[in-house]
Amino acid sequence: MNVWRAVLLAGGLACLAVGTVVQAQGARFADGFEPVGQRSLTQFEAARILTQATYGPTPAEIAALQQSDLETWFNNQLSSPISLQRPFLENLAATQGVTNGDRRSRWGSIAIYGEDQLRQRVAWALSQILVISQQGMGNDIFGLAEYYDLLARNAFGNYRQLLEEVSLSPQMGRYLSHLRNRKANPNRGTLPDENYAREIMQLFSIGLVKLNLDHTPMLDNQGQPLPTYDQAVIGEMAKIFTGWTYANSETFFRAEVNYLPMVCFEEEHEPGEKVLLDGAVVPAGQSCEEDLTDALDIIFNHPNVGPFISRQLILKLVSSNPPPEYVARVAQVFNNNGSGVRGDLEAVVRAILFDPVARGMAQPAPFGRPREPLLKLIAMYRAFNAVPAPDGRSVNIPTGPYAQSPLFAPTVFNFYSPGYQAPGEIQQAGLVSPEFQIIDEGTIATAANHLFNQGWNGNTGQTNPPANRPAINVEDLIPLLDDPAVLVDELDLRMLHGSMSSALRQALIATVEAYPSSGNDDRKVYGLIHLLLVSPEFAVQR
């Protein structure tokens, strides 16, 4: 019996307890005797899986998943061909100028229409952990696209490999300035740049304090958290990331900008021994590549990586405040996928989504996460069968209204911090609410207005829908205006996987009943969808 199967068995018992409660509320949840991956699903369970593991349910995918099971769906996703950005943009560039708007549009097309939804959703999460950004990167459009493709390629791969490819990406090298980072020059008194050395540890792997398997901090005997490293380790780690520059460089400083893995000029690489985390030594006399291999092995094998990365992925897929036991179960899989392999992201993603905490339909508050503002837009397009723009590629993915956009974070600290606590009740309860860091009095309005304009002025019922975006198609819902309860229940399934409160249901039914009788049925339906899109219940992914 491998590790995660044992976890699932343990989890099955927990499901049983949860299941009895839910059945009393209306039998939307099958009982928990079968392994979670193989049992049949209700349409609500199917919609919920698609909410967590894709860019949002579509009617067709809800139906298909309900005919299947989680295990089959997951395995199909693993083998689904990867959707890439860079090759697409390079093809586009053959006939026209290409902008970062085209890059973001390509991201949007993949998010809405890509078959490899799970891979892309994990890549989206990774793009918010291993951050680079268009801001500060100028117009390196193909490089940015290739970086995103790198994340997508490795989404089910091994975290060690991902860390290496990220470290050697010249785009990361530019963003965190280890590209063309030189060894110390005693004559000039310069020392290596510490930027990447610090952030690869603080943000990409181990964090600032030593962690238990469940991500709780280890404390010293005064109750203070134990730091993972000090400034001396940063200085030593900085030496590792010296000598690297663009591939195909004529000299260290003369090169064409490209997206190939960086290469190292030994004469610019810091020689000598480097003493890294917890005294681990990278010996003198090695090549750049050998130094990098050793350093990445040391980082990757630090016991923090499992809990640190596992928790971040849980936060970005399932819930902001996961029970420590859930984090520990996933981190255990990170540490060993059951076959002795550390860092297997496929197994980690599986452990996150198959866990009874993720699959339980009646998780008590505060289970769930604030829905990412930009993903509301994508979810809208998917739930309502958006028809591609006439040119088949234009998706308006803006940088402003949602305060997030693909590879557009303001700093390497992402759009929001995993530790952010909204002031007031959430903070007082000791909860974190990361995505609320970008949802304030200003952005809540800009997001609501962008959603409104994309749907109200972008649906197939219009005479001339705008050409620069997909148009949602609500024609199948228009007949239901005559039966508001059925209409609202359909929106509940597609947008809230059947979790809508009876009060919200009544409010939406009353809205339809109060509509004037005259025409514009497409907008009447969209008007209702928009109320739900901006509602407090849709604002939380549960």
Nearer to another protein, 92 or 422 (CB): 422
Site string for another protein, 153-192 (x = CB under 8 A): -----------------------xx--xxx--x--xxxxx
Q: CB of 218 within 8 A of CB of 264?
A: no
Nearer to another protein, 11 or 373 (CB): 373
- Under the binding rule (CB under 8 A), the answer on residue 536 touching another protein is yes
Nearer to another protein, 122 or 439 (CB): 439
Q: Which of residues 191-220 bind another protein (CB under 8 A)?
A: 191-195, 198, 202, 208
- Under the binding rule (CB under 8 A), the answer on residue 132 touching another protein is no
Provide the token pair at 470. Answer: 């997909």
Nearer to another protein, 118 or 277 (CB): 277
Integer CA distances (angstroms), 481 to 11, 254, 454, 490, 520, in order: 42, 65, 21, 11, 11
Q: Which of residues 344-383 bind another protein (CB under 8 A)?
A: 365-366, 368-370
Q: Is 467 exposed, middle or buried (0-12, 13-18, 19+ CB in 10 A)?
A: exposed
Smallest separation (angstroms) from another protein to the CB of 428: 8
**Could you tell me which stretch among 38-46, 88-96, 211-219, 438-446 binds another protein (CB under 8 A)?**
438-446
Q: Which amino acid is at 214?
A: D
**Could you tell me which stretch among 281-289, 341-349, 441-449, 463-471 binds another protein (CB under 8 A)?**
441-449
Site string for another protein, 393-412 (x = CB under 8 A): -------x---------xx-
Choose which of 161, 443, 462, 468 interacts with another protein (CB under 8 A).
Answer: 443
Smallest separation (angstroms) from another protein to the CB of 452: 4
**Which phi and psi angles does 521 have, rounded to 5°?**
-65, -35
Smallest separation (angstroms) from another protein to the CB of 341: 32
Q: Give the DSSP H or E segment for 146.
A: helix 141-153
Q: Which of residues 270-329 bind another protein (CB under 8 A)?
A: 320
Nearer to another protein, 65 or 447 (CB): 447
- Counting residues that bind another protein (by CB under 8 A) gives 87
Smallest separation (angstroms) from another protein to the CB of 226: 12
Cis peptide before 398, with omega less than 30 degrees from 0? Answer: no
Choose which of 20, 25, 40, 136 interacts with another protein (CB under 8 A).
Answer: 136
Integer CA distances (angstroms), 512 to 59, 478, 505, in order: 22, 12, 11
Residue 6, SS3 per DSSP: helix
Smallest separation (angstroms) from another protein to the CB of 501: 4
Provide the token pair at 260. Answer: 């190939």
Q: Which of residues 505-534 bind another protein (CB under 8 A)?
A: 506-508, 510-512, 514-516, 520, 523-524, 527-528, 530-531, 534
Nearer to another protein, 165 or 194 (CB): 194
- Under the binding rule (CB under 8 A), the answer on residue 231 touching another protein is yes
Neighbours of 175 (CB within 10 A): 26
Q: Which amino acid is at 421?
A: Q
Nearer to another protein, 17 or 429 (CB): 429
Cα dihedral across residues 221, 222, 228, 233: positive or negative = negative
Choose which of 26, 221, 424, 482 interacts with another protein (CB under 8 A).
Answer: 424
Q: Which of residues 450-509 bind another protein (CB under 8 A)?
A: 452-453, 456, 501-504, 506-508
**Which phi and psi angles does 217 have, rounded to 5°?**
-75, 145
| Alpha carbon distance 417, 129 (integer Å) | 10
Give the residue carrying structure tokens 């007949």. Answer: 479
Q: Which of residues 101-120 bind another protein (CB under 8 A)?
A: none
Strand partners, 537: none
Residue 85, SS3 per DSSP: coil
Q: CB of 127 within 8 A of CB of 151?
A: yes
Q: Give the DSSP H or E segment for 264.
A: strand 263-264
Choose which of 21, 429, 467, 486 interacts with another protein (CB under 8 A).
Answer: 429
Residue 310, SS3 per DSSP: helix
